[in-house]
Chain A
């Protein structure tokens, strides 16, 4: 992510063989770690399950088994199509489904994996997601620093 840093990428493809651009980022400074504490303070109900790392982001966790950063939102849509994801109604979400957070202009600004099905009356599932260069968090889908007005769930059936 930083200017001029010598980042590396790996081979990453969709089910249909489309290449997905990616990279693995560098270590995180102590200064940044101090800012992470502030973020955690802002979301006290989110449970941190890993250490911060720049190796992968949310999309790298959701779609690439925690191996890299995927930053291009358009390529996320390619993955959805090539991998035959179908949208799932929020009340019917199951563990293993994925969640995508769309901004108002269509950017897929965040993603995660559902780990607990939603219960009435609110039907808000619990998910695990990686907050960019910060850590992975377990949190309710509506409790994170990303746009929450357009959350969609997807599943691979076959």
Chain B
């Protein structure tokens, strides 16, 4: 029997993606404490950064007097970055333990195997983002409005997908969980070499230049707009465009590594 023709290819692919996403949730539900770092870390990161640099809003040039409002989208995106990188670590573990071979030896297309990992990370990233948001509100962060919240969540899910592609690429390249810190570092760099700490005008010249060309700046500003003002299309489309570019780039790199693994 040619099993690959048992059902239409698109249905088989969707079913495989769904099955891989279902497996990914086991890490959350069946490993005691596994969810805690991913949720707690960005939350505490938010509290820590706010506690450390909160006084910066005293400087002229901040568009808000609330460092909490300024910072909460950064922490939401950081949570997405951590979650996506964790997906890369899990893939590295799967490689080390031979599990990936089981997937590679099946007729499922390589992009389907990658999509399962990436989409699982996108969904999972909404959990820490919600936690951070829920913590930030009573501490003084502004309510962003439904539109602001939806835009922020969209940015979070998409950045998690970018991070998962980055993590997967490194996992497939190095085939070792030891690459985990590198996965984290890459995403932190992407998100922090932006207007994460202060507005563009207050950054040192070199950092301002980098932030201007870093596509993640647009993503962050799009996620931030509800918290510091209001959502507009002009403030949103650059973020969407940046995300499209990032997903295309990192998705292609990850898929290339996946295709190079095995035949």
Pair from one complex: no
Which residues of B are interface residues toward A (Cβ below 8 A)?
none
- Residues of A at the B interface (CB closer than 8 Å) are none
